């Protein structure tokens, strides 16, 4: 599995974030300001200024939620979560087909994530379209849902037809660079945790967890 969708935030948490963003009328800027020269040509959205106090506060909240989530931690093996931004798309706005930069000022981009903060009923369009070598898939998650996917994939945000789409985006530098190796470790960890929940500890499970930990040592940076 090369991508993960998961309910990261509850309604109370997303409402808190949106209410805080609503207070920042003067802190939004053209999204092109943080895009590379190629991506800037197809980017049409607004972003909360990353150096604003509210952006720093909410970014810490998002980072904490990601690091405390067992499933997300297992999938990403996050070494560094960085470049978190809050963006909004009004009617007519979109972000054309592009690839994320491999390296940003704050770290390497192995995985990209989008957290949907708007309720689906509050806007039309605005799907996140992710492409790989053989297919493409659209994502339009419930409020508080996160999609995490390899930063090596081309992707786009379709035009918002009505309403307003508010999301949080960011990037993860993983201890494991390889997509395939991260998948192997995720499957191994998920299987071991499932066996532990069903049958409790055993000598055999100790060996599986030992192998997982040692593979992480061998494969990791």
Instruction: Kindly state whether residues 19 and 98 are assigned to the same domain.
Output: yes
pLDDT per position in the chain (221 positions), as tens? 589 999 999 999 999 999 999 988 778 999 998 877 777 889 999 999 999 999 999 999 999 999 999 999 999 999 999 999 999 999 999 999 999 999 998 899 999 999 999 999 999 999 999 998 888 999 999 999 999 999 999 999 999 999 999 999 999 999 999 999 999 999 999 999 999 989 999 998 999 999 999 999 999 98
This prediction has a pTM of 0.94
Instruction: Kindly state whether residues 119 and 204 are assigned to the same domain.
Output: no
Residue with tokens 């307003």: 164
Instruction: Kindly state whether residues 59 and 87 are assigned to the same domain.
Output: yes
Instruction: Kindly state whether residues 106 and 138 are assigned to the same domain.
Output: yes
Task: Give residue 203's domain range.
Answer: 179-219
Instruction: Kindly state whether residues 193 and 125 are assigned to the same domain.
Output: no
Instruction: Kindly state whether residues 58 and 161 are assigned to the same domain.
Output: yes
Distance CA 195, CA 220 (A): 25
**Number of domains into which the chain is organized:** 2
Domain final residue pick, 174, 193, 211: 174
- Here the CATH number for the domain that contains residue 66 is 2.60.120.620
Instruction: Kindly state whether residues 84 and 121 are assigned to the same domain.
Output: yes
pLDDT digits 0-9 by tens, 50-97: 999 999 999 999 999 999 999 999 999 999 999 999 999 999 999 999
Give the count of beta carbons closer than 10 Å to the beta carbon of residue 95.
23
Distance CA 119, CA 113 (A): 18
Instruction: Kindly state whether residues 122 and 34 are assigned to the same domain.
Output: yes
24, burial (CB in 10 Å: exposed 0-12, middle 13-18, buried 19+): middle
Instruction: Kindly state whether residues 25 and 93 are assigned to the same domain.
Output: yes
Distance CA 13, CA 67 (A): 16
Instruction: Kindly state whether residues 105 and 38 are assigned to the same domain.
Output: yes
Instruction: Kindly state whether residues 68 and 167 are assigned to the same domain.
Output: yes
Give the E-state strand segments of the chain in sequence order: 4-7, 28-30, 43-44, 46-48, 78-89, 94-98, 103-104, 107-108, 111-116, 123-125, 128-131, 136-139, 145-150, 155-157, 160-163, 165-174
Instruction: Kindly state whether residues 187 and 121 are assigned to the same domain.
Output: no
């Amino acid at each position: 599995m090369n991508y993960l969708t998961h309910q990261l935030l509850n309604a109370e948490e997303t409402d808190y974030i949106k209410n805080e963003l609503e207070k920042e009328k003067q802190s939004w800027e053209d999204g092109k300001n943080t895009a590379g020269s190629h991506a800037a040509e197809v980017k049409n959205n607004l972003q909360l200024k990353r150096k604003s106090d509210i952006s720093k506060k909410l970014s810490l909240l998002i980072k904490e939620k990601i690091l405390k989530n067992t499933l997300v931690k297992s999938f990403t093996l996050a070494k560094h979560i960085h470049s978190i931004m809050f963006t909004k798309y009004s009617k007519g706005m979109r972000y054309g087909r592009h690839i994320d930069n491999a390296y940003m000022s704050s770290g390497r981009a192995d995985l990209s994530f989008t957290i949907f903060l708007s309720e689906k009923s509050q806007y039309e369009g605005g799907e996140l379209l992710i492409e790989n070598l053989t297919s493409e898939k659209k994502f339009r998650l419930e409020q508080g849902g996160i999609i995490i996917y390899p930063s090596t994939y081309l992707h786009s945000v379709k035009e918002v037809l009505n309403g307003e789409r508010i999301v949080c985006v960011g990037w993860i530098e993983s201890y494991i660079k390889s997509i395939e190796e991260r998948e192997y470790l995720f499957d191994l960890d998920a299987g071991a945790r499932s066996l532990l929940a069903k049958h409790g500890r055993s000598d055999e499970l100790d060996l599986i967890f030992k192998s997982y930990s040692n593979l992480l040592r061998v494969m990791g940076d």
